[in-house]
């Protein structure tokens, strides 16, 4: 499927919007990295905010203090969460399993 042709103004607006979303997502991950926001808070925000809902769960888990890529993969495996899942795609059982796994 071919991409629609855009006017220079539309392209500029789309690029600006994408940059704003990347910046906001980066700020969200930074808050998690610094411990200002817990996973439970991130999951609550996902119910209200599209930006959080569309963020990959692996990206959030990896920035949690004390958790790296290997431990993040293990936690996601234990909670039966696919590697490419976004926060908005988690069901209640996966959310509960993730929060329980993070307590240990």
| Overall CATH class of domain 16-103 | mainly alpha
- pLDDT value at 104 more than 90: no
Burial class (CB in 10 A: 0-12, 13-18, 19+), 36: exposed
Per residue in 67-89, pLDDT (tens digit) is 989 999 999 998 999 999 999 99
| Domain chopping of the chain, boundaries | 16-103
What pLDDT was estimated at residue 22? 96
CA angle 74–76–80, rounded 5-degree value: 115
What confidence category does residue 3 fall into, taking pLDDT thresholds of 50, 70 and 90? confident
Q: What is the pLDDT of residues 90-102, one digit of tens each?
A: 999 999 999 998 8
pLDDT value of position 34? 94
- Reduce the DSSP state of residue 48 to 3 states and report it: coil
pLDDT tens, 4-45?
A: 788 999 999 999 999 999 999 999 999 999 999 999 999 999
- Alpha-carbon dihedral 98, 101, 102, 104, rounded to 10 degrees: 170
């Amino acid at each position: 499927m071919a991409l629609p042709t855009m006017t220079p103004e539309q392209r500029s607006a789309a690029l600006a919007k994408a940059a704003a979303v990347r910046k906001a997502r980066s700020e969200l991950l930074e808050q998690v990295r610094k411990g200002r926001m817990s996973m439970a808070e991130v999951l609550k925000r996902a119910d209200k905010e599209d930006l959080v809902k569309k963020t990959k769960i692996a990206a959030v888990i990896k920035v949690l203090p004390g958790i790296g890529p290997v431990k993040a993969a293990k936690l996601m495996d234990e909670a039966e969460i696919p590697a490419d899942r976004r926060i908005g795609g988690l069901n209640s059982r996966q959310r509960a399993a993730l929060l329980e796994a993070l307590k240990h």
